[in-house]
Structures are given as structure tokens and as C-alpha cells.
A and B are shown apart, each in its own frame.
Chain A
Amino acid sequence: MSGRAELIDWVVPAEVRTLRRWLPAAAVVLAIAAVLEGLRYDGPRQIGLLCGLLLLAGCRACLAGDRRTWKRRLGATFAGVGTVIAAHLLVVGEKSLYDLWTLAWLALPSVLALYWLISPRVAAWASGSDDAAFIAECLSSNRRLGPLLSRAGTQVLLIHACAPVVIPLVWIADVAVSPGNVLGGAIGDAFTLDHFAAVLSSAAFGTWIGNSLVVSVGTTIVGLLLAIPAGYAFSRYRFAGRRASMFLFVLVQMFPGIIILLPYFMIMKTLGLLNTSIGLIIVYSVTALPLCVWMLKGFFDSIPREVEEAAAIEGCTQLEIFRHIILPLSLPAVAVTALFSFLTAWNEFLLALVFNTSNDQYTLPVGLASMIPATGQQWGDFAAASILVSIPVVILFIAFQRALVQGLSAGAVKG
């Protein structure tokens, strides 16, 4: 009977479950930190962190397998030594924010493990007790403590996931408002709007924005003009060659950019369309076309056919139906598709780099990249320009994220 095995799982105190889950995570963090100490040539600290790593791993090993009191005692000892090492490093070591963070990953798990492993409940669990009073006590405390600990763990995980996003953003904002076109300097040590003024008043930045606007708006218009009828045809008609053409649209998405880049370049060169907006508009609208068609087809599919049939009985022509019924109903979808092709064109780098070699035809991506050459990098101006360019894009993206993700994953998953 499997009842006993399940029972054993049921009566594990929430503290032990939490330690089982988080001690390995702490060990991984300490391993990374120890490697990074190698970069800082801080030998004693590296040894301290490595010892801590081994102790936490040992403590985790003591929580696996059979329940034994000696294992609990050994684990508590490991945790105690870990606490002592953490305290020692705190006293003698450096105390930058980073150092405190790595220390926290040694100190907090050690202290919690020590505290929990000497608590009566865990002691009872480790001694192998499964009498009714212990089980009842354990279950009731798990019901209280379990969700609390798992929520705290979730918050720790999410904060760590967000840190690599938030810290760079704060830093780049600081570079943008720090005097001098350089990196470095403490965060918040000085404030100037010079870089924003310089970027906004520079002729080059205006030209890049103008080029990007022309290309992106052009791409959106041309792309929609091609994609709306095609998406509608795929959604509403069952015609010979439908499956084959739909497959064709998927196949194109699979072509790697690199196989098409060079021929595009040669064709545009021959036709004299290098260094023009038209060349980029043509190429962008065609490369964004398959996904746009798939997105729109999905949206048109969701409009019931009965609406159209009713209108047809009323005597509307096909074009009238499309203009007065389908288009208004699918306007939000068309807007999302338009946003998608706009953003694709607005953010595209490689084709713009290859096609437009003269400074006055640069689009924003190529222009901003040209601010960071191998020498003479203008970091302050670049940071200011990046912030100005990103904010509208990010707001649009966040506002339409759900629809964009749905459309994209629909195309992707069906592809």
C-alpha cells in the first residue's frame, strides 16, 4: 500500500521542504560568487564562500533520505559553522552592496537552517516520530507556515529575476544624466540634462528619426495593404491552392536572414535603391508580411460568418461587406498588426546597416550604433538618445503586450 509513503511526504515540516528547495539555490549563488571572487583576486573571501558552499551542500545532504537524529545534528552543525563564517566575512571583509548580497546568500540560509534544525518540530520529525499528535501538529503548522514560506520564496525569486533588468536601467539613466560622455562614476553623484539637450538639438538625430519614421510608416502602410486582403482570403474562402499558399507563407519565415541578405543587397544595388527609404520599405514589408497575414487570418477567423451572410442577403456587395462590417469589427486587430509591422521596421538593424551606408540615410538603429564606434564613444549622448527612443516603444509594447504575444505565438505555434 502506498499510503505510508504518502504519509511520510505529508508530514515533512514546511521548514524542511523550504530548506530542501533553497539550500541548492544558495549553493549555486555561492558558486557563482566564488568564481567572481577570482576576478577580484580576493583569495580569503573566495575560500570563505567555497567553505560556505560546501557547508550548505552538506546541510542539504543531511535533509535527504531517512530521518535520523544524527543527520539533523550534523546538518545543524554545518549551518552553525556557515553562520560563523558569514559573521567572520562580514566583520573582516569588504562591505560594498555586492559583498553584502553574496554574504546574505551565505548568512540567511545558514541562520535559518540552524534555527529550524534545532526547533522541536524538526527534531521530532528527524527522530522518526509519526505518532498522531506529531502529525496533527505538523499538519496544522504546515498549513500556516507553508504558504507563507512559499510566497516569501516566490518574492525572493522574482526580485532576483527583476534585478538584472532594473539595475541596468537605473545605470543607463544615470549615464544619461551624468556630465561627460563617459561611463562610470557613482550612481546619482551628479545631474545634468546636457546630453538630452545635445541629442535633441543635433541635426543627425533629427535625420535618423525622420528616416526611421518614413521607413516604418511606409512599411506599415504597404504591409497592411498586402496583408489584409490576403488574410481575409485565407480566412473566408476555400480555394484551390489555399493550403499550398498558406504553407508558402510559413516557409518564408524559416529562411535565415543571411541567405537573403546578400541577394537583397545585390538586387537593390543594381536597381539603384541603396541609400533610399524605398528599398528598405519594400524589403521590410515583404519580410514582415507572412506573420502579418497569419495574425490577420486568426483575427478574421474570430468574426462569425453569419454577420457577413446576413449583410449579403441584405444586398451588400463583397467590397461593402468588407468595408462596413469586417474592417470596423477587426479594427483592433488591424491596429495590432500595424503596430507589429511598425515596431519591426523601427527596430530592424541588419538590413538597414547593409542598405544605407550614407550618414543622412541612417535609420535610428544604425545611427545609434554609430555613436558607439571602437574609439570615441559618446556614452552620455547615446544613453540619452536610447532613453528618448525607447520610452514610446516600450509604452506601446506594454500597452499592447497581450495582443502582440497572442498574435506572435499564434503564428509561431501554427508555424
Chain B
Amino acid sequence: MLAGAALLAPVTQAAALTDEALRLTTDPAQNEYRRIHVEVQHRSGPDTRSYQIWFASQPFDRVADAELHSTLVIGDTEGLNRTAPAFDTQDCWTAGQPVHRTKDDIPVLAPDILEWSCSLSGVMPGVDQWIAVLPVDADGRGLSPLLPIRARTDVPDQRPPPPDTLPITLTLASIVLSAIVLLLYLRRRDILSGRAQTSRAYLYLAPALIGLTALTFYPVAYGVWLAFTDADQSQLGEENWIGLGNFATVLLSPGIVRVTLFTLVWTLVNVTAHVALGLLLAYTLTQPGIRGRTLYRTILLLPWAIPGYISVLAWNGMLQPDGLINAILGTATDFTATPLAARISVILVNIWLGIPFMMMVLSGALQAISTEMFEAAELDGISGWNQFAYLTLPNLKGTLVPVSLLGFIWTFNTFNTIYLMTRGNPYVGFGEPGATDTLVTYVFSVAFDYGRYGVAAAWSVAVFLLLLAFSYLYVKRSGVMEVAR
């Protein structure tokens, strides 16, 4: 019977022991996904206290060349349960039943057990492994030579089933179809009203419009829907409608006031500095008779021309204890260690990044102002400052208002500067926004660090509404000023 088993088993090696042979076999038929099944027949001697299972990816004859997979203790099984372990690196059986285990899930064999089997987890599929079982005495000495057997599991990796693409495909298709139908309807109306030559316009417009609807308006709608669901990292495509729960989470989240205030400070300080300094530089550069104007303009343009992420990473280096700023000052301060210093640092870096855009746009607008007005002012003896305040600024208003609104929206939505400088640190508390987090970077970390998609979507919607409110206020206020003037 033993000989028959040896014939059936593909690889068998037996070791002569001090008292009796240990027979180790593997049965590929019982291998599972990333598990190898081994069977052991051995009458343990009086010195044997435990079995160690060793494995490696090459043949080995010393334990130093292998890794310990698991240990089975030989001892009294009185009072122990035959339970499946919570986390089973080895699933061991004797006589058709799970082995006894201690409270710490260590498998225990009674001394009189002659046959046992284990299913060893954590092996790569399709790769040869060498496995050996070593009886060990009380001092940890091996009682037999290591004679590893070759084994492998060929059960392939089970990939999770592909997510259901049908709903999204259907939605996208219906959006595309309704856009086409709308365009066809408009075209027909145009033809009926006698504007036949314009019918081609719809054809030209269709690709862009369909792309825009399908890939901008649909995602926004989807995002709003997500805000009312319990979507998170662990359940994708199975989210359930939970109503306003996420919005309650948002409103009750710790640090919401702090992060909102910092976002406002961040945006207002940045935009003010961008516009003020951009205007100062644009005004200076458009004065007549400056030596090296082209060179200055080109240098001042560089913060915009250099890819933004590179500038921010370079500033990250410059502000470190052994960076440029400390070298200049002769100090070793970590400018991103304390909340106040970190906040000032990220704001200053973002100011540096944003000036050139304002400078270029405003110098374009300055050049468009008629110079005759200034010549007349010069003749009347109006000083430089008064010229600026009473001629230049009012003439620039048409550019300043929309550009600063745009700057407001852009700065509010800035992500790279903070993420690449501090990642929102210094740390304040678990789940709370960091000291330099703005709403945008905090929403990012809620979504992609904590994996709470539904809550993050609710944050996005709240942030969007906030931004919309501010933009509306701004437009209204600047409109009011226009009427008053």
C-alpha cells in the first residue's frame, strides 16, 4: 500500500530518521489557488517536539538557504479545539479533521499521530518550489537531513470578474444619441426657416459637442449622483442610494471651518498678489525707454514657461533645511515643519508661479490703451501716480475684472502646488485636513487616500457650490461698481 502511494505521487523522497522514516509527498490534484498540498507520514520519536516546514525556490540542503513556512507543535491536545484558523497560512488536517490549534492559531499534533497533511498558502502559481519537513527537538536541532521535494501549483491566478460596463456604455450611448437627435432637430428647424446653408454647421459641430456632453456633462452628473451614494474603494459599481448622509458627514467633519478659511485666505492672498505684482511689472515693462526690456520680459515669463510641477518640486528642495533659501540666509530652518511657516511657504511659491500670466495679459491690455491720453496728461502736468490711478486703472477694468475672476477660480482649484510641496502637511489629526490643505487637496485625499468616494463626491459638490457662490458675488459686486461709476 505504501509502495502504491509512492507510485501515484509524482515526487517522493524519504529520509532515514534517527528512529523511523519521514515520508513527504505532494498531491497536485489537491493543490488550490496559490496553495500546495503536502502529506506527511512519520512516527515521531521521543525527542521530536515540532515539525518545521521549509521552502525555497531552488533545491537546498541547509535551512539557511530556505524560508520557514510554518511550525507544527507536537504536544498535548487536551482542551484545544479543532478549529479553522482566522488567518491560515497553513490549513492542516489529520484523519479528515482539522488539527487542534492553540489560542494563537498554532497547530498542535498529538504525539501518536502518524499521518497528517497541510495545504501551504502563499506560493506563486506555475513556479517550482522546494519544500522540506524537518522534525526538530526541544533545542531546535533538526533530527533528519533536509531532503526537499519539488512541488508546484498550476491553478492559475483568478482575476476578479471584469466590472459591468453595460450601464456606463448605455448611458454614454444614449447621451450621444440624444445629442445627435438634438442637432438633427435644430438643423431641420434651420432648414424650415430658410437657413439651408447653415445645415453643414451641425455636422462640423457634432463631434466636439458630443465629446463635450459625453465626457464633461455626464461625469459631472455622475459625480453629483455619487454624492448621494455610499460608494467607496471596496464596493465599486454596487453603490446604494443613501440620500443626504454624505453631506451630513461633510458638514460635521472636523476641521471643515479651518480648511474653508485657509482656502479663502489662500485664494484671496494669491489673486491679490498676482494681480498687484503682475500689474506693477506690466506697467513697468510698458514704460518707454527701458534698457533690456526683452531680456527682462523673457526672464519674468519663465515661471510660467517652466512646467509648473517642476517649479514646485524645485521650490520644495529650495525650502528644505539644506536648500537654497537656508543657504542664502545661513540658517537651517525647515520651512514646511510648522503650520504657519508651511502656509506662508506654499502661498509664496504659488504667488511666484502665477505672476507671469497676469503680467502678460495685463501688459497686452496696457498696450491697447491709447498713448495719446497719456501724452495729454503729461502736458497737463499730471504726475505718474495720478496717471496710473485715473487713466490706466479705469481703462484696464474691462480686463481686470474677468481676469481676476478667472484667477480666483484657477487659484481656488490649484492642486499641484500644495500636493507637491507639503501634501497638506503638517499633520493635524486623523481624517482631518492638514494645516496646508485647501478644499481641493483635502477632497483629493478623502477620495484617494481614504477611499471614501461618496463622501469625496459630496465634498466636490459642496466645493463647486461654494465656488459658484463666490463667483456670483464677485460678478454682481463688480457689476454694481460699474453702475455706480
Residue in contact with B460 in the complex, picked from A96, A258, A290, CB distance below 8 Å: A258
Q: Are A184 and B216 also in contact (CB < 8 A) when A39-B333, A229-B207, A409-B403 are?
A: no
Q: In the complex, what residues of A have CB within 8 A of residue B217's CB?
A: 252
| Residue of B with least CB distance to A167 | B324
What is the distance, in angstroms, from B374's C-beta to the closest C-beta of chain A?
14
Q: Are the C-beta atoms of A158 and B290 separated by less than 8 Å?
A: yes
B329 in the interface (beta carbon within 8 A): yes
* A377 and chain B: residue at smallest CB distance: B317
Which B residues lie within 8 Å of A413 (CB)?
398-399, 402-403
Contact present for B416 and A349 (CB under 8 Å): yes
Contact of A266 among B236, B305, B409 (CB under 8 A): B236
Q: Which of A80-88, A117-125, A230-238 contacts B (4 or more CB under 8 A)?
A: A230-238
Which residue of chain A has its CB nearest to the CB of B163? A270
Point out the residues of chain A lying under 8 angstroms from B198, CB to CB. 237-239
Report the contact-size class of chain A (Cβ under 8 Å from the partner): 35 or more
Contact A286 B289 (CB under 8 A): no
Is B111 an interface position by the 8 A CB rule?
no
Given known contacts A237-B198, A240-B190, A263 and B318 CB-to-CB distance under 8 angstroms: no
B168 touches which of A257, A270, A286, A379 (Cβ 8 Å): A270
Is A241 engaged at the interface, CB distance under 8 Å to the other chain? Answer: yes
Question: Is A168 within 8 A of B314, CB to CB?
Answer: yes
> Given contacts A166-B299, A230-B208, A271-B165, are A183 and B223 in contact (CB under 8 A)?
no
B212 neighbours in A (Cβ, 8 Å): 248-249, 252, 286, 289-290
Decide if A193 is an interface residue (CB 8 Å cutoff): no
Q: Is the CB of A398 within 8 A of B301?
A: yes
Structural contact, A349 and B309, CB atoms closer than 8 A:
yes
Question: Does B406 have its Cβ within 8 Å of any Cβ on chain A?
Answer: yes
Given contacts A161-B300, A165-B299, A175-B317, contact A350 B416 (CB under 8 A): yes
- Could you say which residues of chain B place their CB within 8 Å of the CB of A262? 223, 226, 447, 453, 456-457, 460
Does chain A have a CB within 8 A of B310? yes
Across the interface, B444 reaches (CB within 8 A) one of A258, A318, A382, namely A258
> In the assembled complex, how far is the CB of residue A140 from the closest CB belonging to chain B, in whole angstroms?
16
Check if A405 is an interface residue, CB within 8 A of chain B. Answer: yes
Residues of A within 8 A of B381 (CB): 6, 9-10
A168 and B315 contacting across the interface, CB-CB below 8 Å: yes
Q: Which residues of B contact A97 (CB under 8 A)?
A: 328
Q: Please classify the interface of chain B as helix (H, G, I), strand (E, B), loop, or mixed, using the class held by over half of its residues.
A: helix
> Which residues does chain A contribute within 8 Å of B211, judged by CB atoms?
226, 285-286, 289
* Chain B 296-338 interface 0/1 with A at a Cβ cutoff of 8 Å (1 = within): 1011111111111110011111101011100111110100000
CB of A233 within 8 A of CB of B201, answer yes
- CB < 8 Å: which of B203, B208, B219, B289 contacts A267? B219
Known: A151-B290, A266-B236. A412 touches B403 (CB 8 A): yes
Residue of A with least CB distance to B172 = A267
Q: At the interface with chain B, which of A105-113, A200-208, A332-340, A389-397?
A: A389-397
Question: How many Å lie between the Cα of A303 and that of B310 in the bound state?
Answer: 38
A196 to B162, CA, bound (A): 43
A137 proximity list for chain B (CB < 8 A):
none
B420 within 8 A of A: yes
Interface bits B377-417 vs A (CB < 8 Å: 1, else 0): 00001011000000000000011001100100100110110
Residues of A within 8 A of B193 (CB): 240
Q: Which chain A residues lie closer than 8 Å to B360 at the CB level?
A: 401, 405, 409
User: Which residues of A237-274 are within 8 A (CB) of B?
Assistant: 237-242, 245, 248-249, 252, 254-267, 269-272
- The answer to whether the Cβ of B209 comes within 8 Å of any Cβ in the partner chain is yes
Across the interface, do B305 and A394 meet the contact criterion of CB distance under 8 Å? yes
* A-chain residues with CB within 8 Å of residue B412 when the two chains form the complex: 256
Q: Does A368 contact B (CB under 8 A)?
A: yes
For A236, give the chain B residue with the smallest CB separation. Answer: B201
Alpha-carbon distance A238/B202, docked complex (angstroms):
11
A304 proximal to B (CB < 8 A): no
B449 to chain A, nearest CB (A): 12
Binds A, one of B40-48, B148-156, B461-469: B461-469
Q: Is B281 an interface residue (CB 8 A)?
A: yes
Q: Is A283 an interface residue (CB 8 A)?
A: yes
What residues of chain A lie closer than 8 Å to B320, measured between beta carbons? Answer: 183
Chain A-chain B contacts (Cβ-Cβ < 8 Å), number = 282
Q: Name the B residues within 8 Å of A398 (CB-CB).
A: 298, 301, 305
Q: Knowing A10-B381, A260-B220, A379-B317, say if A239 contacts B202 (CB, 8 Å).
A: yes
- B234-288 at interface with A (beta carbon < 8 Å): 236-237, 280-281, 284-285, 287
Q: With contacts A259-B220, A269-B163 known, is A386 near B209, CB below 8 A? A: no
In the docked arrangement, what's the CA distance between A169 and B364, Å? Answer: 27
Instruction: Indicate whether B205 reaches chain A with its CB closer than 8 angstroms.
Output: yes
Interface status of A310 (Cβ within 8 A of chain B) = no
In the bound complex, what is the Cα–Cα distance between A231 and B34 (angstroms)? 57
Contact code string A159-196 (vs B, CB < 8 Å = 1, else 0): 00110111111011001000000111000000000000
- For residue A40, CB closer than 8 A to chain B, the reply is yes
B415 lies within 8 A of A230 (CB) = no
A382 in contact with B453 given A260-B220, A289-B212, A413-B403 (CB within 8 Å): no
0/1 per residue, A272-288, Cβ < 8 Å to B?
10000000001101110
A236→B201 CA distance, assembly (Å): 8
Complexed CA–CA distance, A242 and B198 (Å): 11
Contact A257-B163, Cβ < 8 Å, known A171-B324, A240-B190: no
Inter-subunit contact A98/B204 (CB<8 Å) = no
Ordered by A's residue number, 6 sampled pairs between the chains whose C-beta atoms are within 8 Å are A96-B328, A98-B328, A155-B291, A164-B352, A267-B219, A398-B301
New A-B contacts (9) at CB < 8 Å, excluding given A158-B290, A263-B457: A158-B284, A230-B207, A239-B198, A240-B186, A258-B440, A258-B444, A263-B223, A267-B168, A413-B399
Residues of chain B touching chain A, judged by Cβ–Cβ distance below 8 Å, are 162-165, 168, 186-187, 189-190, 193, 195, 197-198, 200-205, 207-209, 211-212, 215-217, 219-220, 222-223, 226, 231, 236-237, 280-281, 284-285, 287, 289-292, 296, 298-310, 313-318, 320, 322-324, 327-331, 333, 352, 357, 360-361, 364, 381, 383-384, 398-399, 402-403, 406, 409, 412-413, 415-416, 419-420, 439-440, 443-444, 447-448, 453, 456-457, 460-461, 463-464, 467, 471
